[in-house]
Structure 1
Amino acid sequence: MNRTKKAIFESGVKVFSEKGFTGATMDEIAANAGLVKGTLYYHFKSKQEIFDYIISEGISIIKDEVQEAVKREKNYISKIRELCRIQLNVVYNNRDFVKVVMSELWGRGDINSEIKNAITKYISYIENNLKEGMESGEVRKGEPSFMAYTFLGMLCSSAVYEFINKDKENVSKVIDNLITYMVEGIGNPI
């Protein structure tokens, strides 16, 4: 990402997180990026195009970071633990981006196609890791698609928990608790 596009990305994330898609304007995005409006229009034709770029790039950055960390792990439970740890750290360190995604996911009646496609691809990535874990015998057999959605839901719920309790909870503790509950379950051992 070149310097101008990076400035637009960061500005767009900030403006969309504060104003939402409907309230954001090209003028605000340009001003916040320190650009004249013409430069913004040189790179992007519309607010929708900027929004789609932000979603696509943001999800791609998260996915690349997760994939790189997961590659280093040898077994699938470790991969799932690392996927969880990296994902939550990325979420906690990019709150404005997550706020944009979440508000658009649940805020408007129609889900933006860029968000839907990006999340679908990410869930597919999680599902493939779970399938491989099932094939190796490290992950309990089950419905990998549903498990992947459940996994993502638990990650989102943990992010909400941390956002609300950020002054009371240590991020590492939240991550460790999620991993324990997700991998080991919440039932008492028999």
Structure 2
Amino acid sequence: MRTVPTQTAAKLGAAAELFAENGVDQTKIEDIAAATGIPKATLYYYFTGKEEILAFLFRDVLDRVADEVDIAVQSDRPGAVRLAEVIRAQLRVMAEQPAVCRALVGELGRAGRIPEIAAMIHAAYYQPVQDLLAEGVADGSLRQVPDPGSVAMALFGAVTISALSYLVTDQPLDEERIGGAVITTLLDGLRPR
């Protein structure tokens, strides 16, 4: 895939809306061209097809999650506080990209077959959270868990499903409300006893 110019990438949010409403299989490249204002030839210049457009949108969201998670992880606060910030960061990105997240629900199987997406989730979220869990144990704000990798996956899943439960029903994603509930539930289970 060629590097997509910023102006073109900015217009692809309309494709996410189509994917969320109709699914990838029911969306034609002509529909994407009409909704985005990007000529069909230009779409084919940058993408091999609509599946690659979907993958591009997923990668964009994961890049944003990675950036936000990195900011949260890099602070000098205790591990538990930084973990709460990671959760809020993920929710914030999802709230900013509701159509892409709704498309993810309908295309979860397809997304799971894109190996680079799995690798990006690992690098953007699982690994930093695993490192953060260890740092939280070291600073006394979190307890030791037997399998940090599984805990990182569980956190990602809990936050993702909580957010998607709102987004698929077109309810606004209130980062503070959902974040507070998820953080209380998850972190109280991770605090030292």
Partner of 1:120: 122
Q: Is the 8 A contact 1:126 1:148 kept in 2?
A: yes
Give runs of aligned pairs for residues 35-46 of structure 1, distance below 5 A.
35-46=38-49
Q: TM-score when scaled to structure 1?
A: 0.82
Partner of 2:23: 20
Q: TM-score when scaled to structure 2?
A: 0.81
Percent of aligned positions that are identical: 26
- Once the two structures are TM-superposed, the CA of residue 145 in structure 1 deviates from its matched residue by 0.6
Using the alignment, how far apart are the partners of 1:43 and 1:170 within structure 2? 35
Partner of 2:69: 66
Partner of 1:11: 14
CA RMSD of aligned residues (A): 2.7
Using the alignment, how far apart are the partners of 2:187 and 2:131 within structure 1? 17
Distance 1:22 1:114, change over 3 A: farther
Give runs of aligned pairs for residues 35-114 of structure 1, distance below 5 A.
35-106=38-109, 111-114=113-116
- Once the two structures are TM-superposed, the CA of residue 157 in structure 1 deviates from its matched residue by 3.2
- Once the two structures are TM-superposed, the CA of residue 30 in structure 1 deviates from its matched residue by 1.3
Using the alignment, how far apart are the partners of 1:93 and 1:50 within structure 2? 19
Contiguous gaps of at least 5 residues in structure 1: none
Deviation string for 1:31-69 (max 9, x for gaps)? 111122111112222222222211112210122123224
Q: Is the 8 A contact 1:91 1:159 kept in 2?
A: yes
Deviation string for 1:75-112 (max 9, x for gaps)? 11110011111211222232111112232225x59633
The number of equivalent residue pairs is: 184
3-state SS of paired residue (1:185): helix
- Once the two structures are TM-superposed, the CA of residue 170 in structure 1 deviates from its matched residue by 5.3
Q: Is the 8 A contact 2:112 2:118 kept in 1?
A: no
Contiguous gaps of at least 5 residues in structure 2: none
Partner of 2:132: 129
Q: Is the 8 A contact 2:13 2:100 kept in 1?
A: no
The reply to whether residue 177 of structure 1 matches residue 181 of structure 2 is: yes
Using the alignment, how far apart are the partners of 1:72 and 1:80 within structure 2? 11
